[in-house]
A and B are shown apart, each in its own frame.
Chain A
Amino acid sequence: DIQMTQSPSTLSASVGDRVTITCRASQSISSWLAWYQQKPGKAPNLLIYRASSLETGVPSRFSGSGSGTEFTLTISSLQPDDFATYYCQQYSSYWTFGQGTKVEIK
């Protein structure tokens, strides 16, 4: 099974901050990586697919990069609506998620 490791687990930030979340895969997954945002009591919402492609309707302050085993999600200027938990997901071999990164208000 492919294991996904996210860091940090929790991130404290302020509105307007640039935020970066890292995701590492236990083996190469090429660019088969997605990022999701989840708010309490809600389903995950797709932000990024194929490591760097922005899903339709997602604000351009979200961006993704990486390939192979190392990936990042960047929020260029954190907005109040962005405080949530973020998950990376590999889809190279079935589907596994990172443990999540909670972005909270500093």
Chain B
Amino acid sequence: EVQLVESGGGLVQPGRSLRLSCTASGFTFGDYPMSWFRQAPGKGLEWVGFIRNKAYGGTTDYAASVKGRFTVSRDDSSSIAYLQMNSLKTEDTAVYYCTRKGAAAGPGYMDVWGKGTTVTVSS
């Protein structure tokens, strides 16, 4: 079964850091680009960051709201994607979802989503 499981969420003070993990199973992780999305309480969905697979350089892109503060990385040997979140703000409070992009190249929708992990930024 294709599955993504996020972990690492929790309560953190403004200005501090947190690292989320996304453990994949059921597919060849290294063949797929991965992305992170988030959903603030009672709000809609927002793209956060993206990492291409190694065949396409393993490069990253970020939403303007998190650029310079968040970093997406991957460990293909362990089938894990990471979201390093620094300088956290109260507006980063959300459920964070790890997703798989359905196609390695070109435009692609997210065909697999994890259940999400909750991040609360509060003093």
- Listed in ascending order, the chain A residues whose CB lies under 8 Å from chain B are 32, 34, 42-46, 49-50, 55, 87, 89, 91-92, 94-100
Contacts and interface: CB of A to CB of B under 8 A. Distances in A.
Interface of B: 35, 37, 44-47, 50, 61, 63, 97, 102, 107-111, 113-116
B107 A44 contact: no
Contacts of B113: 43-46
B44 A94 contact: no
- SS of B interface (majority): strand
A43 B116 contact: yes
A53 B47 CA distance: 22
8 contacts: A34-B109, A46-B109, A49-B109, A55-B111, A89-B109, A91-B107, A92-B107, A99-B44
Given A32-B107, A43-B97, A44-B113, A95 B44 contact: no
B60 to A, nearest CB: 12
Contacts of B108: 91
B109 A94 contact: no
Of B45, B46, B47, B115, chain A has the most CB atoms within 10 Å of the CB of B45
Given A43-B113, A87-B45, 4 more contacts: A42-B115, A46-B110, A94-B47, A99-B44
Nearest to B4: A43
Nearest to A48: B109
Q: Which 5 A-B pairs have the closest CB atoms?
A: A34-B109, A43-B113, A95-B47, A97-B45, A32-B107
